[in-house]
Amino acid sequence: MSLGPWRHVSASVIGSSHQRVGGVCQDSNVCTVIPSPLDGDVLIAVVSDGAGSATQAQAGSAMACRIISDSAAQFLASARIEEITREKVEEWIQAFQKLVDERALADGSTSREYACTLLSSIVGAEAAVFFQIGDGSIVVSDSEESIHGHVFWPERGEYENTTFFATEPSFTANLQFENVRRRVVELAMFSDGLQRLALDFAKVMPHEPFFRGLFPSVRATRSDEDAGKLNQFLTDFLSSPRINERTDDDKTLILATRVQEVGVK
């Protein structure tokens, strides 16, 4: 967690359904703040949810988070957020797919066994890039409006409980992308295990009480000790009976807020 211009916390925890059968958490996340020569401190956040039916889903989601976050950091070493295009993001995903193909060849499987969704946010002082393949969601508030709104609504496949994956050859058809001039002050990202808690599907909007109950603790963080306690709190919260009674899937949640935006409620 950064104690610079951003406060952020993240956790990926195993769902009770996987725990019962001795499985592992197939979700992964990365949340970091990098110094960009042209954009200052930039928040990079990535969430990936491995497909439940894929044997290497955990490895796939971890690779997706690492490749995308590293690619974004490398790009911003000499360019601005505004220069990140859809085509550039497609190159990053193709690099991920190449690594998956190599791993699958080495272990005698197929890229389908590494299937995972992908959500990413790259947020600077006055601009941001968001992209997503599959379900889960990115929720933000900005300097003009404190209420939280979604960037993309979760993408579902042709059938119930199916979605799209970053490992698919046709990923470009399902890639949602936005590059916006917008001062984002709060950000939440989560995998589909939290969708029914964090989103109001009837109104097609975020469930505001869910976020208003969590962000105050992130804003109040003032030390490394606070950060450690908050990370543990988030892990415990996502693993609690209160949450598991409503979802038995793996769950990932990233929360981030700008320090100077203390007036955001």
Q: How many domains are there within the chain? A: 1
**Is 224 within the bounds of a domain?**
yes
Is the pLDDT at 159 greater than 60, yes or no? no
Neighbours of 175 (CB within 10 A): 19
Per-residue CA distances from 222 to 52, 142, 217 (Å):
38, 22, 10
CATH code of residue 81: 3.60.40.10
Amino acid at 225: E
pLDDT at 196: 92
pLDDT value at position 226? Answer: 84
Q: Tell the residue number behind the tokens 């195993």, with chain if given.
A: 14
| 264 in any annotated domain | no
Nearest of 89, 87, 258 to residue 187 by alpha carbon:
258
Mean per-residue pLDDT over the chain, rounded: 92
CB 54, CB 126: distance < 8 Å: no
Which residues form the domain of 50? 6-258
Check residue 186 and give its pLDDT: 96
Does 89 map to a domain?
yes
d(CA 115, CA 59): 9
The residue type of 152 is F
Residue 26 lies in a domain: yes
CB 111 within 8 A of CB 101: yes
Task: State residue 121's pLDDT score.
Answer: 98
180: in domain: yes
pTM exceeds 0.85: yes
Q: What is the pLDDT of residue 261?
A: 43
- pLDDT of 10-58, one tens digit each? 999 999 988 888 789 999 999 999 999 999 999 999 999 999 889 999 9
pLDDT in tens, 179-198: 999 999 999 999 999 999 99
Q: 192 — phi, psi (to 5°)?
A: -70, -15
